[in-house]
Amino acid sequence: MRFMVQAVLERLRQKIRRFPLVPFPRARARHTNKRLRYRCAGLVGVLLALAPTAAARAQEAPFYKDKTIRFIISAGVAGGYVSYARLLAAHMGNHIPGKPDFIVQSMPGAGGLLATNYLFAQAPQDGTTIGLIHSTVPLAPLFGMAGARFEPMKLHWLGSMDRSDGPCTAWHTSPIKTWDDMLNKEFIVGSSGVGSQMELYPVVMNRLFGTKVKVIGGYKDGASIFHAMEREEIHGRCGPQLTSIGALRPQWLTENRIRVPIVVSERRTPQFPDAPTLLELAKDEPTRQQIRLLIVSQDLDRPVLAPPGVPAARVKLLRDAFNATMTDPAFLADINKQRLTLDWVRGEDVANMLAAAYAMPPDVVSAAKSMMAAK
């Protein structure tokens, strides 16, 4: 800007030099020259005043202009997580100054721990990388899960896209139809890793109620587990999944191809009102407290986060964009078109719920850790 001002002044000087010399009386000449000096000084003052304004405007250019946000998901390339991620990626940029592009990148592994560890310690800390992870992962350090190398309260929670119950579903040809069957027969379920509800809920039920749930790990994502159920390689799956079934396998619901013997939740699910909840079956308050701690994540389904080092102003910008997207008519239309559900939670509320979980009584937390260690 300084060079621009100098160039303008130089042009002004050149024009002044070209003024014709007019023979004025001495007094009048002094008056004319004084007026000219005042006008030139005023013009210079205006130009100098404009310099910081132009510089400020340059600094105010949106950080995200011409940038791409990398959106890491902790699941594979098929299933409910990627469906939500792609929809959020398609619309959230419209609510960020500079309108950045989004690219969705799958980073499955260890039930969501791999992606979360990456976001915490290795991802760029400037707001150009965010993530969507399994809902049980934020509680992994609290439960003492091996491989959890992050601090949840240092991560920036932008919001959560849904709330969900945690049913165990059994394929209609399997021997598991009711809760009593789970107590007396082996129930073989699939899992994508130790950090997910698919592993956590069986551990809880086996430990607290004596069920006979056997977990088969190694599946890439929830959709792969659905395939395995259809091929009758396994009996079923535990954990939030009804949204994914409604989107990927709606005929399972309309044609009664699955049974729900139990719901890991505080309330019964409207789609299967005859299925009891785990809290209904708890016989004492310590057991109920442990279950409540373990199902905190159900109110945080599809949580979206940013790495810990992202500047506070940029975190607010991302949170505002997330909130605006959740009420965007175009986004809602796409949610309905894909038969997904939306029951979103603000980022500040996600952080508060996690803080409350980590402040639970030590004996409750210790019991939860013991359960996980007993796996």
The pLDDT tens digits for 46-97 are 444 444 444 444 445 799 999 999 999 998 887 788 999 999 999 999 999 9
Torsion of CA 22, 28, 33, 38, to 10 degrees: -140
DSSP string, 38-92: HHHHHHHHHHHHHHHHHHHHHHTS-TTTT-EEEEEESS-SSSHHHHHHHHHHHHH
The mean pLDDT of the chain is 85
The DSSP secondary-structure symbol of 21 reads: P
Considering only residues 295 and 230, tell me which one the structure prediction assigns the higher pLDDT.
Answer: 230
Beta-bridged to residue 259, according to DSSP, are 170
Gyration radius of the chain's alpha carbons: 30
Report whether 292 contacts 305 (CB < 8 A).
Answer: no
Structure tokens at 330: 């175009």
> In this structure, which amino acid lies at residue 196?
S
Please give the pLDDT value at position 372: 63
pLDDT-derived band at 21, boundaries 50, 70, 90: very low
Structural domains in the chain plus CATH codes: 68-163+301-360 (3.40.190.150), 166-296 (3.40.190.10)
Report whether 294 contacts 365 (CB < 8 A).
Answer: no
Considering only residues 190 and 51, tell me which one the structure prediction assigns the higher pLDDT.
Answer: 190
